[in-house]
Amino acid sequence: MTRFTSLSETQIRCVLLAKVFSDNRDAESLKRFVRESLGQAEPVVSPLENKVGDALLDLTATIIARRLYKGDTEVTLLSSKDLLEMGPQLMELVREDNTEMTDDDAVIFLKAMESVIDNLVALTFDNLCGDEHPYDYYHRWFEVVLTYADELNCAPEDLFSMESCQDEVTRRIYTKEQLRENFRRRQLKYTPETLIKTIINPMLNAFGDDEEDRAFAEMMRAQLEPGIRANFEKTQPLFKIWFETCLKRVFPN
């Protein structure tokens, strides 16, 4: 029996949530670096965004933990169908923030969310696991985390509150060359076209198929695409600087 198979579903979920919140802190640090480099003001985040984000993260960790615990590798770890099951709950959160939302608005929201989430799930697992099967990746990752936690005599979720411990987990999962190759692959794969295809188009296509809806979608697309491409040109060099800084921290020699 491996260390991973000795965990309960609740323990798996707890470790996953700790990792997710740690990743979110890293993502916020990257966003702050980009904003400061470009001289941009900090955006105002609405309470609704935080509520919806927290609800999705909690559900995601719950589903992945359940499936890892059951170990049926024929079942996809996560899909848009899983997340859309909480559609009614998300709609209630949205309605609390926007009392003028109509039933038609709700249909558009859910339709857009379905396509966007499906694409995001695929991109996330591709970014995380590459060619490795998601179940195999998580089993390997948990074995590293649990072994290291045993060495430090601490709870595995506590590792993700300390940057030095997170870096040690990264070193045990990847070589320096593997991290460089993963970054290069993401740079080649995640282009403005990727964002437009996986996020923007599904959202705009959700408005409907009649002539007026299509005209509105095309107008919005024409307004959004130039900004997306221009922002991409500005941020890509900054992402590389950030990556090299983090890589030097993880692998100082």
Q: What is the pLDDT of residues 110-143, one digit of tens each?
A: 666 666 676 677 777 777 777 788 899 999 999 9
> How many other CB atoms sit within 10 Å of the CB of residue 113?
22
Considering only residues 110 and 221, tell me which one the structure prediction assigns the higher pLDDT.
221
Listed range (60-64, 99-103, 136-140, 214-218) with the worst mean pLDDT: 99-103
Query: Which of 9-13, 29-33, 162-166, 191-195 is predicted least confidently?
Result: 191-195
